[in-house]
Structure formats: C-alpha cells, structure tokens
Structure 1
Amino acid sequence: MNRTSFTIVLACAVAAAFCNHARAETSTKPWLDGSGLLPPRHNPARVPPATAPGTTDDAAMVPAVPLAALTQEAILLFDAGSQSNRHYDLVTCLDGLTFGFGNWPQAEIGAFFSALMMDAAAKAAVIRRFAEAFEADPAAWAAFRRSASLTQSGATQDAVETGIMRLLVSAPKKNSPVRANTDGTCRAQAPVSGAFYQTHRAWLLPAVRRAFRDPDVVAFQVRYWEQDVITPAIKHQQLLGLPADGILLMAFYESNPGQVPTLQAALKKKHAPQTLRAGGQSWQWNAPPSHLGSVTIEDWHKLLVWQAMCPSSTNKFRIRSRNIAYFSKYLSHQFILPRERKSNQTTVPDAGSPENCNPSLVKMRKTS
C-alpha cells in the first residue's frame, strides 16, 4: 500500500461516520470493450458495469478501478455538474491543454507524465495504447514522429517511449491563454503560440483518448489526484478541526487554493484562520453569529468555509456545481439559504444567487 492510499484508509478509520455513508466499493466489474478499454467520457467513480454495458442509471454504475470510498465520493462531487467534464479521457484546449479527470492544465503535463513514466503498469499501458492508436491512424503517427524528431519509421514501443519522453515529459511549463467552448472546441480556431493542444492535436487526440481509457492509466490518474488533492485535504481538515465530511470541502479548496486567500495564508502557517470573508464581510472563525442560535462550532466552520469559496465578484456569479452538491448532501439538513428549491426531495441552492453566500442571511433549519 502506498503512502497516499494509507492516508486515505487511515482517514476512513478515524472518520468512520463519513466512510459509512460514502458509496461502498463493489465487486462488480466495470464494462470493458474488446481491447480492454473502459467506456469513453466517464469519470473513474461511475462507469457502466460489465453486466449492463448500456445502462445510464446512476444507481447501477460502478467504479472504473478500485477506489477508496472517500475518493469515490470526492470524484462524484467534482463531477456533479452537467458541464463538469471530469472524464478520464478528456482532452481539450482550455489553458493550452486540459486533460484527464483531474482537469490538469498545460503547466502540469511534464510533472504528470514524469510520474506516469515512473509507474511500471501505467507506463507500459500508455506506450502500448499510443502505439495502437498510431497503428490505426498513420497520419497521427506521422505527426507524432515529426514532432518528436523520431528516426524510426514504425510505431514501435521504443519509438513511442522516446517520443513521449521528448514531447510530454519535457513539455511546456506554462499555461496558454486559450478558452474552450462548452463542447470542448477552441474559441481561437487558429493555432496559439505555446498552446500544446493546438500544436499537437493531430496525434494528441487519438493517442490520449485511447490511452487514458486503459484501466492502468485510469488507476494512475486516481493515485496522482489523491496525492495532489485528497492527501492535503485530509491534512488541512484535521488542522482546522472540521468534521469528517469537511475533507470534501478541503478537496474543493486544494483544487484552487487562491479562491480563499485568508484561509490559504492561515494554512501556510499551519493554523486555523481568525476570520474568513463571506458575503462581503469578515466573520469570526470561532464565534458563530448570534442569529444562528445553537449552531455547533463544527457546523459553523463548514458553512463559513462553504460560503467563503463563493466567487468574490457578482459579475456572472455562479457557485460551482460541486459546492452546490455538497451543500445539498451535507449542509441542507442544518441550514436554510435565502434562495433554494426542492428537486426530487433534495434541497438545491440557487447557484446564481450571491445571497446564498452571506452568513447573515442564513437560517437554522428546524428539526422534528
């Protein structure tokens, strides 16, 4: 068991309440095609089972690879929106390139593929799948060979490995200002200098879209994401004294620490913040407002962190889908927001309402 997996298992052992209501692991195998590839356009936590490959029923879905319950719950929340695009085979032009279920940007290419090429199973899989893609698409192989300055005429595994090391492990370290449409197409149709996707799309799309459906590559993506997001989330949840499901809130934070500057500054100094800003003003971390009555300090901390993550500008204001899903599941039974609705017996906050991010407008929900 690697260090990341041990940390997550330990978190579940300590926070049994969370792991008990998170999705349980299943022994049902995921559907694989004749080449042993997972279905396209799915996240690692939810794919059709081998027994029902055509199903669209969420309740029937199974993990693509073995997952800790905590990791599975986090992935499902990150992919809660219809446009979240947390697919393991994602390749789009945003930021020059955005790829994988972790939505890693262009600046992450080198670190990601360096780690992948040190993982024996993932390395073998990605080389094999790239080679298969190039054998099926001679134009893609020609583009890859040209870009990597390869002398080999055929897509041998040695040639593919050399190309991956040259093009991906040694890839650009900066993002590129390219925006993507909701369907993944690029707004800038002409190539943008420094944009990896637009420069290399002829080979990148067929190769990555195939390789990233291999179970060994998906399993690597999960481990890489756990180390990058879940492990520090557990550490910071414990430092802040948040309840167990606060790990999920902190996972949202870890994906973009700059969204809560005051919290970021405090965590760098390894202590809880004295205040956090939400709804245009600062709120005391350890002093819940009097209008919330008997709220526990733990619930106040969760609410305040959730509201502090709201966009700071009201221009095109929108609360992220994962935050909406978290509130519905973990906060709605305690708090009433000023603008919310019922959907299938679930309380859903209005994502476009800045009022939902103001602690002074929150009410306690009466319990029977």
Structure 2
Amino acid sequence: MKKIFKHTLPALIACPMMLAACSEWTEPESITLRYPSIEEQNPELYAQYLESLNNFKTSEHSIVIVSMNNLSTAPANQSQHLTTLPDSVDYICLNNIFDVNEMHITEMDEARKKGTKVLGLINFDAIESAWQAILEKEAEDASNTETSEKENELESENETPDEDPAIVNARRFIEYCKKETARQLDAINALGTDGIVINFTGFDLNSLLQDEEKTVAETARQGAFFNLLTEWKAAHAGKEIVFKGSPQNVIGKEILVESKYIIVNAHSAKNLYEMSYLVLMASAKGVPTDRFIIGVTTPYLSNMGDQYGMVNGRSAIVAAAEWTLQEVPDYIKAGISVDGVEQDYFNPTKIYPNVREAINILSPTAK
C-alpha cells in the first residue's frame, strides 16, 4: 500500500499543475458536428428529385397552402424555418411582411427551387382593427379633455362642428385604409414575393338591401382597399392573388375572379358538415365556385376560451384533407389552407405530423 501511495502521490500533485498549464495554453471550444445534406451527398439524385417535385406542383393536384407567423428576429428553432416545411407544400404565406429577417429572405429562394411559391399577407381585417383602436383612443382622450384632438383637426379643416361624426369617421377611415393598404403593398414589392394573400372578412351584405345610402358608403369603404389591389395586380401581371376570408361579403367581385384560389375561413367548423355549410354560404352570386380552398388552423384558444383547430376531437388539418376528397356537384374543392403552421412542427416522432398526414391523404405519391 505504501508503495502504491509512493507512486500515485506525485501523479496527483502533477494533475492540477497540468490542468493549470492547459488552461493557459488554450480555451476549450465546443465541437460542431456537421452532417452533409442529401444535395451534397448525391447532387445528381437530388436534382432528379427537384425536377420530379416541380413537375408534381405544375400538375393537377390538391393544393396545400400554409401561413406562418414569421418573426422579425432570426429563427430560434427549426419550426421557424421555411426550409423545414414539407417539400410538397405549394404556397407559404408570410403574415409579417414589414420586418422579415434575412434568413427567411434567403430561404424564400430555397423554397422556390422546390416549386413552392412565397406570398405575403395583405390584411384588411388588421387595418379595420387598428382603426377601431384609434377611434377608441380618441374617445377616451375626448372624455378627459374639454376639447378633443379630433375637434381641433376638424376646425383646422374648416369642417362644421355640427357634421355627423359617423360621416366624418367614415371619410377618415377611407383615407386611413388607402394609406395602410399602400404601405402593405410597398412592403410586398420590397420583399419580392410571388404574390399576395388578401384577408377580408367584412359583414353580411344582406343588411344593406334596400338601403342605398349604406350601400354607397360600404362600396366606398371597400373600394379604398380593393381598388389599390386591382391596380397592383394590373401592374404585376406575373404575380398571383389568393383571396382569404368571406368572399360573399365583397361588393366588387372582380377581385375574386382575379384570384387564383379562394380560401374560405373555417376555423370555427366543428365537423365536416360545417365546412360544407361555410363554403355554400360563400358561394354567393358572382363568386367563382371552381377554386375553393378550405381554411383551417392549428389548435388555439380564443380570448373567449373557444377552441379552434379541432374537428370531432382531432386535428382540423387532417379533417380538411378528408373533406376535400369528398366530391360535390355545386363547387370544386381545390385543396386546404393551414394557418399557424409552425405550431404543427413539434412532435417527438415526426415533424409537421398533421400537415404531412393531410398531404398523404390528398396526394399519396407526394413526399
């Protein structure tokens, strides 16, 4: 035992000295393992795959559109990358068009190599919500001051104090809507997307029947939005338009004719029958019925606690694919649209499990 101790003691003493010396030589560095991609391993085979994929997307098949709530910052995980989406996705819509990070701009080109088109969201509903917030803030300020900011603006514009505030606000909204729509289109042009998704809900036009004054007012209100889009389309003939929302509530149906697809928002549908009902409601006079896409979402809870994105206790994405395959005589089902697609990424066994299952249902040969 003494002999062993005699030989080990110097070694024990030397260890701290060696460690101290090593720490002076170099700083420890993490090792990054890099695995070659399929493209690098077999470029010829990958080129054949891309050719086959592009041929598939130009063929007649059920369309898959996904929208992503893209962050302005660089992707923090794989769910935020465009390149991790299933290759068979036809369109990717970026909901945030004002501040797209450089990584996504680069990945837009990578997606295009696979025949995937990247669109940007033009959102009337967001414009309308922002305007309502402005009016609420003005009302709050007016209640706390003797003379509101709005009244000062009216005086500066030589408008009479007795003018109906509703008429004034309607006129103000038209100018605000034009400005915000132009701002969105400028962002689209700078981003260089392959087209746009127009999000418009509106309200039931039946409420305007036999009320000419309201009809004229709503026509002007919608015109502030859609007229600029029509002009944009005329100036960008190679770009695509996809309508999303409630097409039956659009007064000027020409923009729907210009749209390649019409997404009917079915976030609230609890079964396949409700999906069919929503599409039938959308099939108003003047609405093209040969290009309907059923719009669903990944699961989420509304502010009121209502559950969306589930149909009969399962993913609405998969249910939408099954609904699409059920042929009907009244209209054509062109495919599905999935909102919040990044939320479908996380799964311990397979990424984007519901989107992939839906693709397999719609196009069993697709990958």
TM bin (shorter chain): under 0.3
* Larger Cα-atom Rg: 2
TM-score norm. by structure 2 comes to 0.26
Q: Which has the higher strand share?
A: 2
